[in-house]
Amino acid sequence: MATFFGEVLSVYSRAVEEDEEELDENEEDAEIRRELEEKREVHLHWSPEVSESLKSGNKLPCSEFILAVGHNAARFLSVYALTSENWDALGRASVWNERSGGVASEESTCVFYRPKDNPAVLICQVTCYLAEDQLFQWTEKVFGCLQLRQLNVTVLSESSVSEFKTADYLSSSSAPFLRSLHSAAFSGKPVCKSLEQPNIVTGLQAAVLNHCEVHRIPSVVYQCYSDVIGPDSVTMETFKPTLTKLGKSIKLDPSPSADILRKIVRTTNIQSNLYI
């Protein structure tokens, strides 16, 4: 497109990518595409006894699935839940995408836990990046392993406050804050305000909520909007109102000792050089 002064600009669209002529695709292109697709597949690795029972057709019994997406949400669960009870690591999910570097990440960034004395509860912490085309697959695969009867899903997730739209100006003191979204089958009362229009939620939390809405599974998402980039304790504390609900199904430590907090909340000491 040319501007008023004759400068030629390339135009890109927020809605669509530039058309790709599919006709030109040859055998080799198709094979590369296929291989790439295979490489991007989501894999679940369960512990031996779980994979055994899945193989024989018995899905994981689960009445409470608690999913934490993002560093703050995951740390919140680590501090308040995972330290207070005996938990078994039940399995993990591994993904490869453009952000995971050269090799498939073996790091445990998406782990499933179950309390030793209560097999009906499952917790999952996701701190890795899942690409847009992997979200749906992750959800289908994970829910495919769970018994859906009497299943309740709670998702803790986070987003930047810059993505929150409101007619009133948000002063810096208002962040971080919590908003909720729930599926039609959810009958309880969320612990915070519902997400206002025209705000939307994307990412893994959206994929899970879509799945639950379509398959009529009671589910609620608590999304924290924070103004801090990276993990911090204030953002983590924003999830505290959910403790009353979570406490019904799992044992919690409502006031963790400073030691535990210190161990988990590592202060990211990146000095800003903006004002030097």
Partner 1 sequence: MFISSENSPPCFKDFTLVMPAVAVGNVGQLSVDLIVSTLNMSRVGYMHTDCLIPMTGNNPYATSNENAEELHTPAEVYTAAELKLAVLQIRAPIIQSKSKKFRQLLVSWIKSSGFSRAVVLSSSQAYQRDDQQMKGIPLRYLVTPSLLKDSEDALKELSWREMERVSAYPGLTDANTEPRLYVPGGGITKGLYTDSCAEDVPLAVLILFCSEGDNIPDAFTLVNHLNDWLHLLDDPSQKPNKWKIPTSWNLLFGSGIPPALF
Residues at the site binding partner 1, with contacts judged by CB under 8 A? 1, 11, 13-20, 22, 33, 37, 132-133, 135-137, 139-140, 164-171, 181-184, 194-204, 206-207, 209-211, 213-214
Residue with smaller CB distance to partner 1, 197 or 271 = 197
Task: In angstroms, give the least distance from the CB of 15 to partner 1.
Answer: 5
Q: Taking Cα atoms as reference points, which of 264, 271, 241, 267 lies closest to residue 254?
A: 241
Task: In angstroms, give the least distance from the CB of 211 to partner 1.
Answer: 8
Residue with smaller CB distance to partner 1, 4 or 169 = 169
Task: In angstroms, give the least distance from the CB of 194 to partner 1.
Answer: 5
Q: Taking Cα atoms as reference points, which of 276, 218, 205 lies closest to residue 249?
A: 218
**What gap in Å lies between CA 200 and CA 197, rounded to an integer?**
7
**What gap in Å lies between CA 251 and CA 171, rounded to an integer?**
36
- Tell me, what amino acid is at 135? L
**What gap in Å lies between CA 121 and CA 63, rounded to an integer?**
6
Residue with smaller CB distance to partner 1, 87 or 136 = 136
Task: In angstroms, give the least distance from the CB of 106 to partner 1.
Answer: 25
Q: CA of 99: how far to CAs of 8, 68, 87, 137, 270, in Å?
A: 33, 20, 30, 18, 21
Task: In angstroms, give the least distance from the CB of 52 to partner 1.
Answer: 29
Task: In angstroms, give the least distance from the CB of 258 to partner 1.
Answer: 37
DSSP class of residue 80 equals I
Look at the block and give the residue holding tokens 């979204």. Answer: 181
Task: In angstroms, give the least distance from the CB of 145 to partner 1.
Answer: 18
Residue with smaller CB distance to partner 1, 78 or 180 = 180
Residue with smaller CB distance to partner 1, 170 or 191 = 170
* Calculated CA dihedral for residues 267, 110, 129, 224, nearest 10 degrees: -60
Residue with smaller CB distance to partner 1, 7 or 106 = 7
Q: Which helix (H) or strand (E) holds 225?
A: strand 219-226
Residue with smaller CB distance to partner 1, 81 or 135 = 135
Q: CA of 138: how far to CAs of 36, 220, 236, in Å?
A: 17, 18, 25
